[in-house]
Chain A
Amino acid sequence: MTTEHRLGQVANYVDERTGAAAWMKKNLQKVFPDHWSFLLGEVALYSFIILLLSGTYLTFWFDPSAREVIYEGSYEPLEGVQMSAAYASTLHISFEVRGGLLMRQIHHWAALIFMAAIVAHLMRVFFTGAFRKPREANWIIGIGLLTLGIVEGFLGYSLPDDLLSGTGIRIAEAIIQAIPVVGSYLSYFAFGGAFPGEAFIPRIYIVHVLLLPGAFLALITVHLMMVWYQKHTQYPGPGRTEKNVVGYPLMPVYMAKAGGFFFIVFGITAFLAAVASINPIWLYGPYTPGQISAGSQPDWYMGWLDGLVRMSPPIETYFFGYTVSWNILIPGLIVPGILFTGMALYPFIESWITGDKREHHLLDRPRNAPNRTALGAMSITFMIVALINGGNDLIATHFDLSINQIMWGTRVGIFVLPPLAFVITKRLCLSLQRADRELVLHGRETGRLLRLPSGEFVEVHEPISPEKAYLLTSHEQAPALELATEDARGVKRAGAIRNKIRSRMSVAHAEAVPKVSTEDLKEIESH
């Protein structure tokens, strides 16, 4: 029996029970556009799978218990030291389980790459406007995945109960405790009593291995199904319209490339785990509240939170015997809350500003949406300034600076640099638009000089290809909204202020260098 015959039998078996042939046929032919920037989400997805696999491995040895034990393993510098069973089991995985340290490192590197890929993917989706209708819900799910990822990572590296991560939990507890009215109650409920208690490690274990992975699986499934069903967006270009998708079919090309990429991601993660030590908890020592190490930081995706908390002015208010710690609430809860809510709602904010209610399947080149791109640059600058402050003590020791100077620099910088980044980025985008316009009208500069009979030197310009010319002019330039603030009789309308703000923002958003028009081309021809 040939392979084909065998396969035919299997296919028949399945189809007679599920009717799979119909939808399989359609889906195996599904077209996916090919661009490297579309692979960032895949890096995140594959990192998630690696996390599931390596994490499951670790659960076979990890003991999520805060019970005090005396260490009797093979690592001499901790012999006879009192520690939690969680810490001791992590030492066991690192030193006595063959492959254990490798898996721990794969798990932790995969987590760092997972978060980095999510952020890079978010930036790609944002700067190309892929979050517009019909993909707003997918964007919100993505922000949800980002938030859950930060929490999951924090809980994950806190499980071994070492000095560094234990300090992080202490800080998290202080944030909970600082919540007005209910803070101390929430803290005692979360920790089963006073800090650190014995309940926290086992509880976060269940959140980390069951509840959050379950949430991830559900959200990622919906996220991918929406991409599947709504079809992936594509970059503008010749042959690409709002009504088609140009790319390669799932079988065989996309399967081979995407499947191969999974092995690449896994391979690079394993390579990092082989050559770069990460989270060497045996050097940190077990957690005890009386100890601390210089240069204590959370993992990078929480570094911006640490930086914001560090730069906060020392503000607390007291009234009637009650304390409100603004120095914790503002950087720890309020600002992140505003940021992430703003991020999640951005598709709706932008469509409110532009008044655009149409579907978009062609991506924007970032330069063609200068306001949005500048806003993105502003947010990234904010995050980077905060992140720098989170590592200010390490920067100080490494570059011979003073933590006090760095702190003041970032306190000022966090207000000054983001708007500066906005202005610079917007101007850069408009300049690029101008450059595109020049390219279409006058062609590419070749660097060759020609002397005209009149004696004048000119540079020879080569016209660009029609494909490139189309790419540079196919984008949309919607005019700004014009909203009336007064009705026909000159009386101020209800919602006038809202309309005025909206109009202003719309005008700013629509600022652009005008595209090459038919008149422009005619003019050129007549030269």
Chain B
Amino acid sequence: MKRLSRYRRHKAAGPALLIFALLAIGTTFSVASANTTAQTTTADRSALIEEGRQIFLKGCSSCHGLNSEGGVIAPSLVGVGAASVDFQVGTGRMPMADMSTQAMRKEPLYTPEETAALAAYVASLAPGPEIPTEAQLNYERDGSTAEGGELFRNNCAMCHNFAGQGGALTQGKYAPTLMGVEPKHIYEAMITGPQAMPVFSDKTITPKEKMDIIKWIKHAESEPNLGGASLGRVGPVTEGLLAWTFGLGILIGVAVWLAMKAR
């Protein structure tokens, strides 16, 4: 002790002490946090769930009930899983803009972090479909466009149209366009069956098949129209309209010019 105190007034004593203190605190902290990762993540997770609960109470409980038990105008969220929330909130469908026939895709109200919090909260209520993992979304590597097309035409085209442009359902409902939808949201829609859409569980359409479908949809989205402008990719209706207006219309215009006397 006497030896140490001899350097008490050394001019390097202050900085050395400072550096020592910083190192000690830093090392202690990282060691401590490394050891207790699980506890901290759970703590983080609880924090996330609590954050989600707060957002829920403010923005969702008025329709979905204070305990997500549902009500007259909104279903219960118990058991819908993180995937449902990530889809509905992530595509902007929820909160619903107006109480019309069905929720429309629009600009999301909540940030990705808030969405994750909401998802964590709802997932904590009861087990349900989970947000797909990176591996489940690696469609570029693991998916097959051709098989995806077959699956799409068998399971999706009847509502969403052969090119994913969307289609009509009864009483004003509709299957929306699949163009410009994130792969994650496509996957989540399939496993959660939002609104009128049925559920396509992983046993009936396996995760690999889901990747095939996503790959095909992404291909259709980026595929340039080979023969000219696309006319909406909805088939003969727009083609007929164009034939009458642009086709015959222009020809009649030329005919009028043809029969007019020249100046």
The DSSP consensus for interface residues of chain B is: helix
- A299 in contact with B240 given A293-B162, A396-B174 (CB within 8 Å): yes
Verify if A474 is at the interface (C-beta below 8 Å from B): no
B259 touches A81 (CB 8 A): no
A128 to chain B, nearest CB (A): 15
Minimum CB distance partner of A393 in chain B: B168
A396 touches B172 (CB 8 A): yes
B157 touches A297 (CB 8 A): no
Verify if A386 is at the interface (C-beta below 8 Å from B): no
Partner of B243, one of A109, A394, A403: A109
B97 to chain A, nearest CB (A): 13
Minimum CB distance partner of A285 in chain B: B153
A94: chain B residues within 8 A (beta carbon): 226-227
Contact with B along A65-80 (1 / 0, CB 8 A): 0000000000011111
B160 touches A294 (CB 8 A): yes
Verify if B255 is at the interface (C-beta below 8 Å from A): yes
B168 touches A403 (CB 8 A): yes
Residues 40 to 92 of chain B near chain A (Cβ within 8 Å): none
Q: What CA separation (Å) do A158 and B153 show in the bound complex?
A: 19
Verify if A112 is at the interface (C-beta below 8 Å from B): yes
A108 to chain B, nearest CB (A): 8
B259 touches A39 (CB 8 A): yes
Contact with A along B218-258 (1 / 0, CB 8 A): 01100101111111011111011111101110111011101
B153: chain A residues within 8 A (beta carbon): 163, 285, 291, 293
A457 to chain B, nearest CB (A): 39
A299 touches B248 (CB 8 A): no
B53 to chain A, nearest CB (A): 36
Verify if A346 is at the interface (C-beta below 8 Å from B): no
Verify if B214 is at the interface (C-beta below 8 Å from A): no
Give the interface residue-count category, chain B.
35 or more
Interface centre among B162, B231, B260 (most CB of A within 10 A): B162
B163: chain A residues within 8 A (beta carbon): 283
A78 touches B231 (CB 8 A): no
Stretch from B13-21, B121-129, B143-151, B188-196 that touches the partner: B143-151
Verify if B171 is at the interface (C-beta below 8 Å from A): yes
B170 touches A300 (CB 8 A): no
Verify if B167 is at the interface (C-beta below 8 Å from A): yes
Residues 73 to 105 of chain A near chain B (Cβ within 8 Å): 76-81, 94-95, 101-102, 104-105
Minimum CB distance partner of B257 in chain A: A36
Verify if A116 is at the interface (C-beta below 8 Å from B): yes
A272 touches B246 (CB 8 A): yes
Partner of B251, one of A34, A76, A112, A265: A265
Q: List 29 A-B contacts (CB under 8 A).
A: A37-B255, A39-B258, A77-B149, A80-B147, A81-B149, A94-B227, A105-B227, A112-B243, A113-B243, A164-B236, A264-B254, A269-B247, A272-B243, A274-B228, A275-B229, A277-B228, A278-B228, A278-B231, A290-B154, A293-B162, A294-B166, A294-B175, A295-B161, A295-B235, A295-B237, A300-B244, A394-B237, A397-B168, A404-B170
